[in-house]
Amino acid sequence: MNESQLQTFLTVAKYKSYSKAAVILNVTQPTITSRIKALEDILQCELFKRIGHEIFLTKEGNMFIDYANNILIYITHSKEITNMVKDPVIKVGFSPGYAYSFIIELLKTIKSTGDIDIQVIEGHDSVSLNERVLSGEIDLIFSRDVLSNNQNLISEYLFDNNLVLVLPANHHLCEKQTLQIDDLNGESIISYSRNSSLWKLIDEQLIRAQNITRIDVDNNEMLLKAVANEIGIGIIPELGIDTRYETEVEIREISNIYNIPNKVYVQYRKNPQIESLAKKIIYSIIQHKYSGFY
């Protein structure tokens, strides 16, 4: 049983077609047939059955999918052993929306643990980060979507990263301590990653605000700069508030938006080196969360 056989099996299972699998894996169809036959000989069972022109997984084939995925994950992880011994490195992934000051504190924590190379990766969203940690491409991630029932990962809930309104320091809404959706009428609302599932929930609440202008920027840093320069008001998670802007912006809550679920999970691979470092990182994050200017 080898990696190519397992990948071929999973590809055929996904597309229900030997010919499509051949195209995707860039091999001939006889090669696909040969790999599946070899795998069936090893397992001593049929993995697929053909009914007419369609291909279906057998009962044994369905059962083997999880095993095949896990074996490939172990293969990927085992390839990293040499690099881990020679040159320790940790790859940390974030979903969008964390302040630079937050990430800097995290990097300081990692650096203080010893000679470890660090690679920081900002994912497009939590879904893409989850896929990358599952594949072994990233060691530790912070995301809003938990990966449950995976024996190769440890998932821990940290806290809620509630959404808040960021205003220019001299904005007229700063005079109010409690805001409602109606207070946003006529305002310019700045956002980033507006196509994300989180922003879809925000937009469901903003639909009640009238005559608002929408400005979408590339990232959290650009949003804060735009707010500080009085271009509009922004909506971001609490951990997106960078301490560098504490004199230039003010924070307010709107209950309908503040209560939108936005949990922070740390998820990391089961690995002695990663697990030890993860505990220190978690402590650092909790300290940052409860000592920020917000």
Domain-located, residue 220 = yes
Q: What average pLDDT does the chain have?
A: 82
158: tokens are 């940290």
For 221-253, write each residue's pLDDT tens digit: 888 999 999 999 999 888 888 778 888 999 999
Output the domain CATH number for residue 114.
3.40.190.10
* Final residue belonging to a domain, choices 52, 78, 104: 78
- Tell me the pLDDT tens digit for each residue of 111-170: 776 666 777 877 767 777 878 887 778 888 888 777 767 777 888 888 888 899 999 999
Based on the fold, state whether residues 7 and 22 are members of the same structural domain: yes
Does residue 113 share a domain with residue 33? no
Is residue 196 domain-shared with residue 51, that is, in the same domain? no
Report if residue 294 sits inside a domain: no
Q: Which domain holds residue 195?
A: 163-258
**Of the candidates 281, 266, 267, 271, the residue with the CA atom closest to the CA atom of residue 80:** 271
- State CA 219 to chain mean position distance: 15
Number of domains in the chain: 3
Kind of pairing between the strands at 233-237 and 188-192: parallel
